[in-house]
A and B are shown apart, each in its own frame.
Chain A
């Protein structure tokens, strides 16, 4: 019984505010009523990097700044802004670093080109093998 009570109390315990005394921003942990909009917002939040906990997305991070970013993204989506426009706005402030989605910037061309290059190499190799087998 005591153990059960302890477990129940652990369930309702509120984690101590690590950073600020203010409550989280209004839309930090609240879903948009419109499910389609919430889906869009959530998909974007999963690809935006948290500035405080730098290897987490803002969707996963408990940092207060990540909460503020989620709230602002939801507010902007509700105001009708497109997710990619919000991503562009964030990149214009924090650089490509803030987005987990690779862009078409020249520095990433090898990344996009590598699959084609390797596919081409593979086909060349295959052709050579088939030719050799035929001539045998």
Chain B
């Protein structure tokens, strides 16, 4: 019995080495997903974020038809990079609303003029309050909202050209 026990510390030591070594080879995942996926959107009412689009309230997102809620900002570089993909989604008949984070209306106007405006409504979240309430941890992010106003999917980071079919699938699944 004693003979077995004497090996225990070495075994534990090797187990820890194994654990740390496996951690070295695993890809680092720093993406923080919202815990609200699958749950209803938190209630919010935001002022208008652009001068030629209406303001946004959470009630307007439960329309019986799945739609996208894009979290963006005029100061965010990847947001400009995903603009063509959002435009393509809009042309595919997807309704897209947006929340502009830590932004000001003239800046949003300038951004939309430069990169195009795929949005139906734009809300302004100057202090990231609604962003936090959505469990969103950065810009850009895109939520798929189902017809009942529930969050069906959260896409973190910019939508690349090859993500567009996947987003369309998610919208179809959210019917």
B135 contact from A65, A69, A94, Cβ within 8 A:
A94
Which among A15-23, A33-41, A77-85, A110-118 touches the partner chain? A15-23
C-alpha gap A6/B107 in the complex (Å) = 35
Q: Is residue B35 within 8 Å, beta carbon to beta carbon, of the partner chain?
A: yes
Q: Are B32 and A94 in contact (CB under 8 A)?
A: yes
Beyond A93-B134, A94-B137, 13 additional pairs, beta carbon < 8 A = A21-B104, A22-B102, A22-B103, A52-B137, A64-B102, A68-B127, A68-B128, A69-B128, A69-B132, A90-B132, A92-B35, A93-B34, A93-B36
C-alpha gap A53/B47 in the complex (Å) = 29
Q: Is residue A47 within 8 Å, beta carbon to beta carbon, of the partner chain?
A: no
What residue of chain A has the Cβ atom nearest to residue B133's Cβ?
A: A93
Interface residues of B in 1-50 (CB under 8 A from A): 30, 32-36
- Which residues of A have CB within 8 Å of B36? 93
Interface of A, secondary structure class, is: helix
Interface of B, secondary structure class, is: loop
- The smallest beta-carbon distance between B171 and chain A, in angstroms, is 24
Q: Are B35 and A20 in contact (CB under 8 A)?
A: no
Q: What class of interface size applies to chain A in its complex with B?
A: 20 to 34
- The smallest beta-carbon distance between B58 and chain A, in angstroms, is 15
Per CB-CB distance, the 8 closest pairs between chain A and chain B, nearest first, are: A93-B135, A68-B128, A51-B137, A20-B102, A25-B127, A20-B75, A22-B102, A68-B127
Q: Are A21 and B107 in contact (CB under 8 A)?
A: yes
Q: Are A65 and B128 in contact (CB under 8 A)?
A: yes
C-alpha gap A95/B32 in the complex (Å) = 8
Interface residues of B in 126-167 (CB under 8 A from A): 126-129, 131-135, 137-138
Known: A64-B102, A93-B134, A93-B135. A72 touches B127 (CB 8 A): yes
C-alpha gap A17/B152 in the complex (Å) = 35
- The smallest beta-carbon distance between B84 and chain A, in angstroms, is 23
A72 contact from B32, B129, B135, Cβ within 8 A:
B129
- Which residues of A have CB within 8 Å of B131? 65
Name 28 interchain pairs, CB-CB below 8 A, sorted by A.
Answer: A19-B75, A20-B75, A20-B102, A20-B103, A21-B75, A21-B104, A21-B107, A22-B102, A22-B103, A25-B127, A51-B32, A52-B137, A54-B30, A65-B128, A65-B131, A68-B129, A71-B127, A72-B127, A72-B128, A72-B132, A93-B34, A93-B135, A94-B35, A94-B135, A94-B137, A95-B33, A95-B35, A97-B32
